[in-house]
Amino acid sequence: MFASFETPDYERFADELKRLLEENEAAIGELLKSPEKSYGNFVRPYMETFEKVDLFFTPLSHLNSVENSEKTQKAYEASLPLLSHYHTRLSQNRELFEVFSQITGEDTAQKEVVRLELRDFRLSGVDLPEKEKKRLEEIDLKLSELSNRFSQNLLDATNAYELIVEDPKDVEGIPESDLELAREERDGKTVWRFTLQIPSYMAYMSYGPNRALREELYRAYVTRAPQNAEVIDEILRLRDEKAKILGFDHFSELSLATKMAPDDDAVVGFLEELAEASLEHVDNEVEKLREMAKEDGIEELQSYDVAYYSEKLKRAELDFDDETTRPYFEQDRVLQGLLDFVAELFGISFVETKVPVWNEKVRVFDLQEDGESFARIYFDLEARKNKRGGAWMNDWQTHHEDEKGREHPASAFVVCNFPPSTKEVPSLLRHDDVVTLFHEMGHAIHHLFSRVKERFVSGIHGVAWDVVEFPSQFLENFAYEKDVLDRFARHHETGEPLPADLAEKIKRSKNFLAAMGMLRQIEFALFDFKLHQRLYQGEEVQKLLDSLRERLSPVKPPSYNRFQWGFAHIFGGGYAAGYYSYKWAEVLSADAFFACYERGRIEKEMTDGYRRHILEKGASEPMDRLYRAWLGRDPDPKALLRLYGLTEAS
């Protein structure tokens, strides 16, 4: 049965959560008293207690991101210590550890549950003296509080800023759809308001003609939340202390203990290899931008010029302006086209359903096969003031069987920040937005398609963090293909299909300035990973970033740029010493894409195998083993360079 989304009682939430956790602990206590313990009568009911917590807590954590308010913040912050204490008590419970040590699963998935649980018990300090266990508990609680503070600081700073433009000359060239959203009447005159919300920010950075205003907006964006400097220092200190308590030299080693990459050298070597391949191509790309800027009298290209001249260069070199695609990508049509494509690719259907939601613009669909619903997905796609920036998939229910053999369905949320629609203006997406939607949908179907019976390895649960991006990146590659775009790209006013030449330009734009884009991601990944290879504090953090920029940034950011204050992936999310995962997983996704789609043709036998071996299997086996079971070989690392056109032949 699908859970019904209900707004929590914020005032009583922490008390209700505490009661639920106490009930769970009592139930687990009864399980431990049982004289006969097997996988069926112990592990499955134990896993069910985690599903109960997710069903109860996820709506609050979700609302704290998409409808943030003082009430959600207060209830969320009050819940963090309760959850932290609860999970620490379980993960450090020696009696639980010994029971799992004696249980052997009957099949591959059950054996993997036991293996992962024993690993996680050890990584939680189950073998440590009580004093060190207590310190780990304190650290984990503090880290969860700091992560939340980092994200809240960033959201507050984003919402607090606005740039008011009064001179019409300063908005010339900005697309009308963006101007419509920015236009306001103040004191009897028309002005344009730009914010640090990504749709608004990128509109001016990409098209705003006034360089001084671009820098003003850029400076505000890259210096958001300066109070996060102290938060970062404290997070890094605690992560380093935690790693050392658990017997690791530094946090990156602790991070890799749960990932596919074997060690630090493998990660750094992989990133450096990609960097070398990209550096061979980047000088030519940057020189083109500099030449274009010189035509406007700019002698030294700056970071706040890059998006603007990239758009101009794209128009000049590819005869392509991403803005020209927007009339063809009306949000509702794109969403329906994506659903139709996924349905055809994997032999299912999506049926829209009316159920309780948190915002009137949220849409909900049930996934069906042979007329039976097996999963549910919620889409919240438009930007609004009290919504955290970015895009993500958040799982809610997880497919599994409980101890009585009853099957439970999966559900998930897909969240984006696309331009909001109004009565006068529909939500029109850039092609980059379309790619983002495909990406998050790839995460969602990885969770929703699971047929695994064991909750801890079903869907995205238990998947190594450095391969969790594989299914999302796999699906996003299709968003550049003409035969896929033709399914939904229609002019929102005339109904005219996307012209063939424009579809070709979209495909060519995929690798436009590819080396610059690759190096930017490698810079982020190396900064994250090296930051966790020893303890950095204060200005050392900036010096590390500057040293990487000196080698990898083809356009050096200004000295005031404090990117780290807004690096939510590693300080407000789960990517610490793991941002490299995007590129690591992209090797698998590129190789898999070429296996399933060559020369405009979908290989149905291969996509069927992809669903059967990858999407449906969750983490029931390690991803490298699942991949070999599907294709009979390991992924080809050269596929990634081929995808980006960075091979020697390019």
Catalytic residue positions, numbered:
440
Helices 70-91 + 130-160 axis angle, to 10 = 160
Pairing of strands 189-194, 363-369: unpaired
Euclidean distance between CA atoms 355 and 1, whole angstroms: 13
Euclidean distance between CA atoms 512 and 309, whole angstroms: 13
CA-to-CA dists, residue 10 to 55, 65, 162, 362, 413, angstroms = 16, 15, 31, 21, 21
Estimate to the nearest angstrom the gap between the alpha carbon of 183 and the chain centroid.
31
**How many C-beta atoms surround the C-beta of residue 469 within 10 A?**
23
Assess contact for 267 and 515: CB atoms under 8 A.
Answer: no
Question: Residue 413 is inside which H or E element, if any?
Answer: strand 410-418
Residues 6 or more apart whose Cβ sits within 8 Å of residue 31: 37, 41, 42, 45, 46
Q: Which of 309, 277, 345 is nearest to 211 (CA)?
A: 309
Residues 6 or more apart whose Cβ sits within 8 Å of residue 405: none
Euclidean distance between CA atoms 642 and 302, whole angstroms: 30
Pairing of strands 407-408, 400-401: antiparallel
Q: Which of 314, 353, 275, 331 is nearest to 2 (CA)?
A: 353
Q: What share of the chain is helix, strand, coil (3-state, %, to 5)?
A: 60, 10, 30
